[in-house]
Amino acid sequence: MSELIEIFTDGACKGNPGPGGWGALLIYKGVEKELWGGEAETTNNRMELTAAIRALAELKRTCEVRLVTDSEYVMRGVQEWLPNWKKRGWKTAAKQPVKNADLWQQLDEQVNRHKVTWEWVRGHTGHAGNERADQLANRGVDEVRRSKHA
């Protein structure tokens, strides 16, 4: 397996729904790459998922990844809910369509390309990688808001 790539992801939303942003910090052999973006009308959960998808999609070949998120929604989705959603044809236990199924399917596709270890951290507690991802997500929000008012 190749060397470990560390990825820190975060999503942000001003209003839920509202303008949102996502951010990801990728670190490989001490080299950092920052990714961010945003959407005019979205939710925090969609931005959390987008951050993980875009970060993993950035990797051109199969990698060993440690992905750190402060989103319990993403963590629980990947580790607990996803296998059952797939078995049930993207329906919840209550037979309802899975919310954000489009993004969960993209995340599943990206995760299957790599060897991903997931790690949850509490947000806004001074964790350096998480704080950087948060800043990038907020940059995404700011850029969306600016372009709306341009």
Q: Which residues form the catalytic set?
A: 10-11, 48, 70, 124, 134
CA distance 8 to 56: 11
CATH 3.30.420.10 fits 5-75+102-148, yes or no: yes
* CA distance to 9, 41, 87, 107, 137, per residue, from 143 (Å): 18, 13, 39, 24, 10
Residues annotated within the binding site for Mg(2+) are 10, 48, 70, 134
Neighbours of 113 (CB within 10 A): 14
Burial class, 97, CB count within 10 angstroms (exposed 0-12 / middle 13-18 / buried 19+):
exposed
> What pLDDT, on the 0 to 100 scale, is given for residue 23?
98
The HSE-up count of residue 98 (CA atoms within 13 Å, CB side) is 23
- 8 Å CB contact between 35 and 58: yes
Each domain of the chain, given as residue ranges in start order, spans 5-75+102-148
Residues annotated within the binding site are 10, 48, 70, 134
Instruction: Note if the bond before 17 is cis, omega within 30 degrees.
Output: yes
Burial class, 128, CB count within 10 angstroms (exposed 0-12 / middle 13-18 / buried 19+):
exposed
> What pLDDT, on the 0 to 100 scale, is given for residue 128?
96
- Average pLDDT for runs of 10 along the chain of length 150: 87 95 97 97 97 97 97 96 96 96 98 97 94 97 87
> What pLDDT, on the 0 to 100 scale, is given for residue 92?
94
Is the pTM for the entire model greater than 0.85? yes
